[in-house]
Structure 1
Amino acid sequence: MLMSGMYPWQNGVVNNCHETRQDSLRHDIQCFTDVLCSAGYETAYVGKTHWERNDALFDINENYVGSTSAPGGNRFNPYDTYIPPGRGRHGNDYWFTCVKDVHKDPRVYSNDPLRIDGKKDGEQHRPKIYSPLLEADVLIDYLKNTKGKRDTSKPFCAIWAPNPPHSPYGSEKDCDEMAYREHYKDNSSDELLNRPNIAESDAENLARAKKSMPFYLANVTGVDKQFGRVLQALEASGEADNTIVVFTADHGEMMGSHNKFGKLVIYEESFCVPFMIKYPGLTKHRLEDLMLGPVDIMPTMLGMMGLKSRIPETVEGKNYSHEIITGVWSTQPKPKSALFLGYNNKFKGVRTDRYTFQIDDAGEQLLFDNEKDPYQMNSLAVADIPQADADFILGELGRWLKESNDPWYRERMFEDRINYG
C-alpha cells in the first residue's frame, strides 16, 4: 500500500509474500519510486522489501539463477526473497537488500559490488553484521557519494527499511548488544512491562514477554542510533535543509499485552504506528491528529515534493500535502476513521477518534471505548454505546470496505450489521 498508493485487492499483495502464496506487487503499476525515477530522481532502496512473490529461483548456495529448473528450484527463506533487476524493483536504481529475519546474519543482495566483496547482483553475501548498522553505513556512503553511486546534480530519494525491531528478540545475538547492556540489561521486567493489559497474559506468555522485552527495546534503540547516524550524515552533506525526512513503521508489537505477541490484531499496540515528517522551512513542530492510511503516503509525499501532477490515476489514497504543510483543513477534511485489515481477510475494523471496532469472518466483535478504556481491557457490545456512535462506526466500516473494493463489500458480508451505503 505504501509503495503503490493502492489497496491490496488492486495492488496484488493481499497477504504476506509467502512461499505457499501467489501474492506479488504488480509489475504493471507505477509505484512511488517509479514516479520519482521518471521525474529524474536518483533512487535507492536499502533494507527489507517483502513485496515480490517468493518463487524457488535459487541454487543450493542461495544464489539467484532465475529458474525453477536445476540448478534452480530452491528457496532459502519462506517469506522474503531477492528481486532481480527490472520492473520488480520499481525504479530503484541503487539496490541493497537484506533478506531473512536474522538480524546479525542478513542475506545481502546488491548491485553495488564494492559492498558485497565484488559479487554480482543476485549472488548472496553474508557479512555477519547487525543489519541496521550495515544499512546505515551503506546509506551514509550513498549520501557522501565517495564512490560515485549517484549523480549529485539530480535530486535523490533513499528508502530505508530495516528489519529490526521485528522478531527475533530472544538474546543478545538478536539485537544491538551495546544498547542492551547500557540501557536494558539491569532493568526489572516490571519496569519495562508497564502496561496494565500485560496482566492478562498467562504464565507462559508472561515469562516470554519478560525475557523478550529487553532485547526488543535494544533493537528499537539500535535502530534509533543508526537513524541518528544517517541524519548526521545528511547534515554533513549540506542537503539537510533541502530534504524531506519521513519516519514511520508498518506495525507495532503486542509483547504479551492481551496475551498476544507480534502484529495482525487491532489492539493499539499493534495497529497504531508513528508517522513523523521533517520538512525544513515548510513545517513547524506540531502534533497532528490526522488518521493517515498507508495508501495516503505515496500521494501525500509526491504532493510535498511538488510532483502532484505525476500522481498516477491508479492511486486510491488522498494527497494531504497542502494541509500538512499549511495546517489548514478547510478544503479537504480529515478522515473520521482509519481502516483495519486483519490477517488473511478474516478481520475488518475501524479506529475512530474514540472507538476501536472489529468484526471477524465468524461475526464475533470487539469494541473498545479508548477514552474510558485506553488499554482496551473491557470489550463492549455495540448496544452499550449511544446509537449515533454505533451507526457512525458501522457506516465508516462499510464506507472503507466499499472504497477499498474489499471482498466483504463485494459479497455484502454481514450487511445486517455493516452499513455499506
Structure 2
Amino acid sequence: MFKRINGKQIKTLVFGKYFLVVMVILAIGCKSASHSKKDRPNILFLFTDDQRYSTLGALGMEEVLTPGMDGLMAMGTTFTNAYILGAPHGAVCSPSRAMLMTGRHYFNLQPNVYAQFSVPNNLKGKSDKLTFPEYFRANGYATFATGKQHNGKDWVERGFEEGKSIYMGGMTKHFGTKVKDFSANAGWSQPYVDKEKFSSELFADAAIDYLENHKAGKPFLMYVSFTAPHDPRTAPQEFHDLYPPENISLPENFMDGHPFPIADMKIRDEKLAAFPRTEKELRQHISDYYAMISATDAQIVRVLDALEKSGEAENTIIVFSGDNGLAVGQHGLLGKQSVYEHSIKVPLIFSGPGIPKNKKKDAFAYLHDVFPTLCGLTDLEIPASVQTKDLTPVLKGKQQVVREVMHFAYNAWPGDNKPKERGAHRAVRKGDYKLIVSSKDGIVTEQLFNLKKDPWELHNVIGENEDSEILKDLRSSLNSLIKETGDPADLSKDMFGLYE
C-alpha cells in the first residue's frame, strides 16, 4: 500500500505527524501490577464504531494505514480472537455496547437499553443493571465520557461525572454532529453543532480538553467513543486521497451476493450498494471505509499525545476496541448482521502498567470481558452481576485461556412486522473450527469452517465431516451454550422459535 501513496503524503500525514508520538507511547514503562486504592491506575477506553479486526494495519491483512493503533499494539497485548456475542436486531452497535457496559449477555438485559425503538418513551434507557463506569465511579474514579452513547441517557448520568460532546444515538453525519455536554452538578447543556469539524476530531478535542484540565487527586476513567468508521463514510478529503479506489484490493471472499437467503438481506446497511454487487462499487466502499479508519486513527494519536503530555501515561491502562465488525463486500454483504468473522471479530488491545508489550494472545475473548478485566487489572472485586471472564490471568501469562468455546448469535428483531426479513443464525467456535447454523423460512443451512486453513470462510467442509466427532461436538457445545447463557433460541424449531 505504501507504494501506492504519494511520498509527500506519507511523510506529512503518516510519519511526520505520527512517528514521534508512537515512539513516545512505546517508551512508556511498566509498573507493578498491584495497586492500592490510593494509586490505582487511570483508564482510557478508546472505542470505534463498525471497525472489524482485520483493519489494524500492523496485522498486514488489509491495505489500511493505522500508525496510532499499530503503536498501541506495540505498546501492549492484542487479543487475536476477540469477538462480540452478537445482536437480536440490525442496529448491532446498541446490544454490543450494552454488553460492554454491563459485562452481561444481551439475553439477560432489558430491551430498554439495547432495543430502545421497541419500548415506550418512559422505558427507554431504564435499567437496573450495573455498568462499569458506574462501578468505577463508586470506587473513587473520576469518570468522563465523550462521543457515542447508544443505550440511553440514564447510564450516562449514573456512570459519568462529566461528559463533553456526547452524541446520543446510533448513527449520524460526521460534519455537524449534534452533541451535548453533561455534568453531574449542572445536568445537560443545550445541543450544539460544529459543521466544520470531523466527528472524530470533535470527540478527540473533548478528550484532550479533559486531560489538560483534570485535577490530580483521584484516578480517572475516560470513555472516548468515536462514531467512525460507521457510515456515512465522509472523512476529511486528505484521508480519502490516501486510497484511490482503483488501487484497492478486493477481499478473497468478495461475492456479488450471498449464496443463500439469510436474515435481514435487504436491511438499510445492505441497500448501500446495488444488487448484485460490483467490483467497482465495492472498491469505492472499501476506499471510503479505510479513509474513515485512518482519519480516526489520526485523532487517537492526538489523544495519546495529550495523555503523555499530562504526565499520566505511565499510570494509565489503555483499552482499544470496536463495537462490531462490518462486511463491506465480503460474502456479498455490506453490513454487520451476520456471524461471519468480518462482522463479529473486533480489535481488542490492552496496554499499561504490568501489561506485556508487543504481545499477541490467541485466547478466546469477548468484548464484554472488558468490565471484569478492568476490575482484575485494578484489583477491584468483580461484581456478582457480571457474567463474563476476567482476561487478566491471560494478560499476565498465568493462564493460556479463560474459555474453550465461544457462542455467537444474530437474528432479525422478533418484534418487527417484516416477515421477509426474518431469520436467525447461531454459531459456535471451538479450536480452529466454527459451525454456523442459519434458519430462514423452513430452511436450515449448516456451515463448518476450519478458520486456520480458511480464515475467509469460503470452504464449507460439512460434507467432509457429516458424521465426524468435530461436528457432533460443535453441535453439542452450541446447544449447551444456548442453555447456559439464557439464549432463547431453540435449534429444533424454524428460525429457532424466535418469532412464535
1:295 corresponds to which of 347, 368, 384: 368
In structure 2, give the amino acid aligned to 1:414: S
Is 1:218 matched up with 2:296? no
Residue matched to 1:285: 358
User: Which residues of 2 match residues 237-276 of structure 1 at below 5 A?
Assistant: 237-276=310-349
Residue matched to 1:47: 147
Residue matched to 1:57: none
Q: 1:402 to 1:25 in 2, by over 3 A?
A: farther
Measure the CA separation in 2 of the matches of 1:102 and 1:234. 28
User: Which residues of 2 match residues 93-172 of structure 1 at below 5 A?
Assistant: 93-96=161-164, 97-99=166-168, 100-111=171-182, 121-128=188-195, 129-145=197-213, 150-169=214-233
Measure the CA separation in 1 of the matches of 2:427 and 2:194. 42
Measure the CA separation in 1 of the matches of 2:445 and 2:277. 26
Q: 1:14 to 1:392 in 2, by over 3 A?
A: farther
Secondary structure of 2:331's counterpart equals helix
Is 1:90 matched up with 2:178? no
1:384 corresponds to which of 448, 462, 465: 465
Is 1:349 matched up with 2:427? yes
Residue matched to 1:19: 117
Q: Which moved more, 1:157-166 or 1:121-130?
A: 121-130
Contact kept? 1:42, 1:156, Cα under 8 Å? yes
Measure the CA separation in 2 of the matches of 1:318 and 1:204. 40
Post-superposition Cα deviations, 1:233-276, rounded to whole Å, max 9, x if no partner, equal 11111110100001111111211111100202122211211101
2:108 corresponds to which of 3, 7, 10: 10
In structure 1, give the amino acid aligned to 2:301: G
Segments of 5+ residues of structure 1 without an aligned counterpart are 53-82, 114-118
Residue matched to 1:74: none
Residue matched to 2:252: 196
Secondary structure of 2:149's counterpart equals coil
In structure 2, give the amino acid aligned to 1:180: H
In structure 2, give the amino acid aligned to 1:139: A
Q: Percent identity?
A: 25
CA RMSD after TM alignment? 2.7
RCO comparison, higher one (Cα < 8 Å, 6+) = 2
Contact kept? 2:432, 2:450, Cα under 8 Å? yes
Segments of 5+ residues of structure 2 without an aligned counterpart are 1-98, 258-274, 414-423
Measure the CA separation in 2 of the matches of 1:370 and 1:256. 19
1:397 corresponds to which of 467, 471, 478: 478
For residue 24 of structure 1, report the CA deviation from its aligned partner: 5.2
Measure the CA separation in 1 of the matches of 2:276 and 2:128. 50
Measure the CA separation in 1 of the matches of 2:183 and 2:485. 38
Measure the CA separation in 2 of the matches of 1:138 and 1:15. 25
Q: 1:323 to 1:258 in 2, by over 3 A?
A: closer
Measure the CA separation in 1 of the matches of 2:467 and 2:451. 15
